Amino acid sequence: MQVAEAYAELIRRTKETALLGSCAGVLGWDERVNLPPAGGEFRGEQMALIARMTHEMSTDPFIGEALSTVEASKPDGDMAVNVRELRRGYDRAVKLPKALVEELARVTIRAQQAWQEARQADDFAGFQPWLEKVVTLKREEAQAVGYKEHPYNALLDEYEPGTTAADVKQIFAGLTKELVPLIEAIKNSPRRPKTEILHREYPVDLQKIFGTAAAAAIGFDFGAGRLDTTTHPFCSGIGPGDCRITTRYNPKFFNESFFGILHEAGHGIYEQGLDPDHFGTPPGAFCSLGIHESQSRLWENQVGRGPAFWQHFLPRARQVFLTALRDVSFDDFYFAINDVKPSFIRVESDEATYNLHIILRFELELDLLAGTLKPGDLPAAWNEKFEKMFHLKVPDNRQGCLQDIHWSMGGLGYFPTYTLGNLYAAQLMEQARKDLGDLDADFTRGEFSRLKGWLNVNVHKPGRRYRAGELCERITGQPLSHAPLIRYLRDKYAPLYGC
């Protein structure tokens, strides 16, 4: 096989597999947005067929042979990127025994049901056998994939290529050291925002209009995307020209849909910024889940919870939510959306304490995968760790170790990407402010295109050409650090809480 020929066919097949996979993207979106109740079983068969076909296509021995041929030619540029990333995916896929993949699919479907019931009934014992099965299977997966140092690395690598548990440990340690005293100082401040403001009447129709306008303003392209309503919000980048985000509305809580929409729109702007010419191949793919999350957090928090953003949007919000916001001052509103308060539920927590929720889960996951923590001992371990970190006693497992769906889905190794997202967001935003000058002046005018353009060029267009850490260093000149996030949080909270 000639190198050029092997490479062309490799890329053709990779794109075709991605194209077929993108059909499952439409089916998955439709399942969550439109599917009639009776259609669930059939949709499962459709999705399973496409999953099987794409798996067969991407593990075809031809892929391995073509990769070897191209690798031997020592390619550079995008060819090298494609070979590196496709090799990574191919090796991982062929190393996993089919029986294990199928068992994982079967077990995690039933484990999710068991988790749902267990959470509702606050019955950890009902979930324990399923958690045991999932942990056992994920440890087998790590063995099959292979790893250095810790089995966690084999799982983390799927979400955050090239990042290891040791990397995460180190950066989380630095973060914890500075974050815990900051949260403590805020806790000890006598100042408290009037959060009642956010729990007034916010009619759903108006939230929809206001949230859509904000998503469009920051740069989500509704000519190439949609916003719909689902129980669990998500972003689905189907392919070039088609990216869909969802949210849920709470008529008695402003934050739920509004910051949710900014968050998903941030993911969406990333997807819309990927290079369509490279669709289906690494140069046209998102870099890592951490970088993906950095884009959602950047728009949601760095921009969307900032004072300049609300200089522009609060007067507009007052015109839309007449009764709720008529008498609310800028200072009161801004303080309310930046309330910091240790609490039990991760998804309801604030920008600062959120990261402690992640660190707790990361540490428990490490022990679960190492086998040093038995799934049956999880509630005790969770509660002890939680009390140490948050100075709060967990009242029940619903508000403790049963709150998240991730482990029942087999998503061990996923949680750290959320805080990596916060860290990358802060470091990228610091750099954008350096490069672009007075961004707050833009935001005050409702102008976000310079920031979006900067992200397009620096973060989105490179795709998966660089690993997350490498991308960060290329853009900011520094490896990922906890310092920018801490600086950002301190700068924000010092004037609010006088700490």
- The residue ranges that bind a second copy (CB under 8 A) are 16, 19-20, 22-24, 26-27, 30, 34-43, 45-46, 49-50, 53, 221-226, 238-242, 279
CB atoms within 10 A of CB 128: 18
**45 vs 327 by CB, closer to a second copy:** 45
Nearest to 60 by CA among 87, 90, 88, 80: 90
- Type of residue at 212: T
In the complex, what is the shortest distance from the CB of residue 235 to a second copy, in angstroms, rounded to a whole number? Answer: 14
**276 vs 371 by CB, closer to a second copy:** 276
Asked if 178 is an active-site residue, the reply is no
In the complex, what is the shortest distance from the CB of residue 120 to a second copy, in angstroms, rounded to a whole number? Answer: 23
**219 vs 342 by CB, closer to a second copy:** 219
| Inter-residue contact 237 to 274 (CB < 8 Å) | yes
In the complex, what is the shortest distance from the CB of residue 12 to a second copy, in angstroms, rounded to a whole number? Answer: 12
Catalytic pick from 264, 271, 365, 430? Answer: 264
**60 vs 367 by CB, closer to a second copy:** 60
**103 vs 242 by CB, closer to a second copy:** 242
Main-chain phi, psi angles of 237, to 5 degrees: -90, 100
Q: How far is CA 364 from CA 134, 248, 358, 360, 396, in A?
A: 15, 30, 10, 6, 18
Q: Is 398 helix (H, G, I), strand (E, B) or coil?
A: helix
Concatenated DSSP letters for 433-472? Answer: HHHHS-HHHHHHTT--HHHHHHHIIIIITTTTSS-HHHHH
In the complex, what is the shortest distance from the CB of residue 40 to a second copy, in angstroms, rounded to a whole number? Answer: 7
Q: Which two tokens stand for residue 205?
A: 């129709």
State which H helix or E strand residue 229 sits in: strand 225-229
CA dist., res. 135 & res. 139, Å (int): 6
In the complex, what is the shortest distance from the CB of residue 44 to a second copy, in angstroms, rounded to a whole number? Answer: 11
Q: Which residues are catalytic?
A: 264
